[in-house]
Amino acid sequence: MKLYTDQTIARDPLPTDLDMNDEFKSAFDLMENTKECLFITGKAGTGKSTLLKYFKANTGKRIIVLAPTGVAAINVGGQTIHSFFRLPPKIIRKDTIKRLRDKSLVENLDMVIIDEVSMVRADIMDGIDYALRLNRGRMKIPFGGVQMVFFGDLFQLSPVVENEAKELMEELYPSPYFFSAKVFNDCHIRAIELSTIYRQKDSSFMELLNRVRNKEYAQGDLDTLNNRVQKDTAISKKDTTVILTTTNRLANTINQDRLSMLPGKEITYEATATGKFEESAYPTDTSLKLKKGAQVILIKNDPAKQWVNGTLAKVVALSNDSVVVDINGRTCDVPVVKWQKIEYSYDKDKDKIEDEVVGAFAQYPIKLAWAITIHKSQGQTFDKVIIDLGHGAFTHGQLYVALSRCTCLDGIMLKRPVTHRDIIFDRRIYEFKGRFASLF
């Protein structure tokens, strides 16, 4: 296995062609020069992640970045909400929140950024509020006086509420979404919607996507989409177009089926995990099985800029300690990458918040990619996709996410027609957006 160097530690550098448009500058200015509570949102492909990374690299404020899941935290170079605040894995109540052993970090915070806020339940948001009040000794001020900045798209990922918690959540909150938290009765959110779309350039396709997103579509829109239906016989198993599925089971079945069809020796690459790197946060397989000819997706930007996160490739050579892929006719040697798990600490002498590495995971930044789930495709961009809705979309925004992965309508193939049932609409999100319409 090829060892990583400092240059192959998994970081996503800022794009060199960063577009500092007016809305980007305005959002940065509000984050840097005000203390307002901000919700930064936008359709798929509008640069939310780029803005977050840019702010993190250029702010003069003492900030931490948190996320609801281990994978999301690793991707943004932050810490999970639960690990930072020591929250229990259940419905959060005030009596479940404890004082932190070292309060100096929280006491010296200027800002908390929460990424993928659409996945954060209302009770967790109230838990964050109470934990900050408690540990900063400012019980009467929302979030203990810390500026909060939320990034996410409510039309994409939704919060997960386990079956056993649904009844209690329904008693406590009007919805599971973060904006239903009680803290927002006393804390005004200013919402900023980034609107410049960098993924799609086809204006008619962008308009269709927007109608699907807002459930303002007409039968003609379904007809347009369903013109993209291809019979199974027309989709060859030799087709390299990535298949988007609604479930992990279907994606795994397709990938293992395609891998088994390839001739030649299968090689397994074992990851190494050290320190406090939980299995739930592993960014790829611990036992990565590959063959020559396998279709894969690269899941981290290359510092040498040979590929970006989401690039599709074909394995052209394997040995026990190397993986070589073909990317659009270019041969690239893929190194092992180290992902780091960090926790935050406060350096009193420097008056600075430091990132402390507490765990690491090393593996080739590769996944099999004949098929991936719609959920895991978020943030990716493809020129062509096959969308397999199986028994149907089952959660708010799922169809929109699948369609919006593609750069143009002509690049989409559907395995079955889209129906009205596949366009799932949560009115509570539209009611929230309506309350803050003047701010978007």
* b/e sequence 74-98, b meaning 16+ C-beta within 10 Å: bbbbbbbbbbbbebeeebbeeeebe
C-alpha–C-alpha distance, residues 404 and 406, integer Å: 5
pLDDT of residue 436: 62
* Mean pLDDT of the chain, nearest integer: 87
Average pLDDT (259-271) is 96
Does residue 16 surpass a pLDDT of 90?
no
Average pLDDT (277-298) is 93
Q: 201 or 343, which is more confident?
A: 343
Q: Which domains occur in the chain, in start order?
A: 20-197 (3.40.50.300), 203-337+365-422 (no CATH)
Residue ranges of alpha helices (H) inside 163-202 are: 163-172
C-alpha–C-alpha distance, residues 384 and 413, integer Å: 8
pLDDT of residue 223: 96
**88-121: pLDDT as tens digits:** 888 898 988 989 888 899 999 999 999 999 989 9
Does residue 291 surpass a pLDDT of 90?
yes
Single pTM value for the model: 0.79
**234-252: pLDDT as tens digits:** 566 667 789 999 998 999 9
pLDDT of residue 1: 37
Does residue 10 surpass a pLDDT of 70?
no
Is residue 310 within 8 Å of 72, Cβ to Cβ?
no
Beta-carbon count within 10 A of 356 CB: 11
pLDDT of residue 9: 41
Say if strands 337-347 and 352-363 run parallel, antiparallel, or are unpaired: antiparallel
SS3 73: helix
Q: 351 or 308, which is more confident?
A: 351
pLDDT of residue 237: 65
pLDDT of residue 410: 93
Q: 318 or 395, which is more confident?
A: 318
The dihedral formed by the CA atoms of 368, 371, 376 and 382, expressed in degrees to the nearest 10: 100
Q: Is 185 exposed, middle or buried (0-12, 13-18, 19+ CB in 10 A)?
A: exposed
**143-152: pLDDT as tens digits:** 999 999 999 9
pLDDT of residue 390: 87
- Among 172-186, 230-244, 253-267, 415-429, the minimum mean pLDDT is found in 230-244
Token reading at 394: 């089952």
